[in-house]
Amino acid sequence: MRLHVADHPLITHKLSVLRDKRTPSPTFRNLTEELVTLLAYEATRNVKTVPITIETPVTTTQGVEIARPAPLIVPILRAGLGMLSGMTALLPTAEVGFLGMVRNEETLQPDIYAERLPDDLTGRQTFLIDPMLATGGSLIAAIKYLTDRGATDVTAVCLLGAPEGVAAVEKAVDGLDVTVVLGALDERLNEHGYIVPGLGDAGDRLYGTV
Ligand code: PRP
Ligand code: URA
């Protein structure tokens, strides 16, 4: 597994505003979109392209276009939905699949309650988006869902991660081509499985249902 933790003052600044408990949902949503676009730049570094020939007003030259099959972006509902428009802004030709998961707050195990994905993901670059990588249970289950359908190249984009969750994902995906891109790697999980310092419940903060 490759891990990339962002190191950019704009990302740290925007994350600081997200972390602030006084930040209201509309600001939280806008900042999430902006952050994803910044992280997507790194996450798409190895996106597959094919060479093409183009005519400029002056001459003929070589360029590239995104290879087919188109990359697949998969937000993990509900909180991952807040990252979708930021990701498609950078990859407008990508297709979008959906995975609905909720973590049981007592067992901390994820339950899958919705799925809308292509049956065959062979040869597809897939991008999972979810703001929080806490215990890693949700991300591990999502990666398994994709690899069971033939995906071999999975990149997860998360705003915050906990070291415990990163280690769990690394162990679970041993031997697979998985990249995790984080806005920040936080200190730890607390006794409730929340990221510390974190930003609280990402879904509640995005959608205002605290
Ligand atoms: C949050 C978050 C992740 C998961 C992370 O979702 O968006 O999906 O928890 O926790 P884990 O790494 O311990 O599995 P939640 O289950 O709260 O659902 P929601 O998006 O509907 O709010
Ligand atoms: N899910 C969240 O939304 N926040 C956390 O800190 C952990 C899991």
Domain boundaries, the chain: 2-207
Position 210 scores a pLDDT of 55
pLDDT tens digits for range 192-201: 999 999 999 9
pLDDT tens digits for range 107-146: 999 999 999 999 999 989 999 999 999 999 999 999 999 9
Fold of 2-207: Rossmann fold (3.40.50)
Active site residue 201: yes
Does the beta carbon of 201 sit less than 6 angstroms from any atom of ligand 2? yes
Atom of ligand 1 at shortest distance to CA of 110? Answer: 14
Looking at every residue in the chain, the average pLDDT score rounds to 96
Instruction: List residues bridging with 153 in a β-sheet.
Output: 125, 177
Q: Which of 92, 154, 90, 99 is nearest to 121 (CA)?
A: 154
CB 58 within 8 A of CB 113: no
Across residues 47-66, what is the average pLDDT? 97
Active site residue 29: no
